[in-house]
């Protein structure tokens, strides 16, 4: 039987950033739509925005290509 896939995942390895600094950025973006998260990351002055942006971009690409999910529906 086919399962309904509701999430896609991406991870980053060997990112040189303190977990606390990354968590500050992640807590700001968590729960937002993809477009809103991109806008927040673009203007957020914190140190960890670039790795989080790259992982978010990878997760969106995984959702679109592997699971045929629509970008507008992702949270």
For CA atoms 9, 33, 38, 61, give the dihedral sign.
Answer: positive
Residue 34 corresponds to which tokens in the numbers above?
Answer: 């993809």
pLDDT of 72 reads 86
Domains of the chain plus CATH, in order, are: 19-73 (3.90.470.10)
State the Cα angle at 20 between 16 and 23, rounded to 5°: 95
Per-residue pLDDT tens digits of the chain, which is 75 residues long: 457 777 888 999 999 999 999 999 999 999 999 999 999 999 999 999 999 999 999 999 998 988 888 888 888
pTM over 0.95: no
pLDDT of 71 reads 87
How far is 3 from 61, CA to CA, in rounded Å? 20
């Amino acid at each position: 039987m086919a399962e309904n896939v509701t999430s896609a995942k991406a991870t980053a390895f060997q990112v040189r950033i303190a977990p606390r600094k990354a968590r500050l950025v992640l807590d700001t973006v968590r729960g937002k739509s993809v477009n809103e998260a991109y806008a927040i990351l673009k203007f957020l002055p914190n140190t960890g925005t670039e790795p989080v942006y790259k992982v978010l971009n990878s997760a969106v690409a995984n959702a679109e290509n592997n699971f045929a999910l629509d970008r507008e529906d992702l949270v």
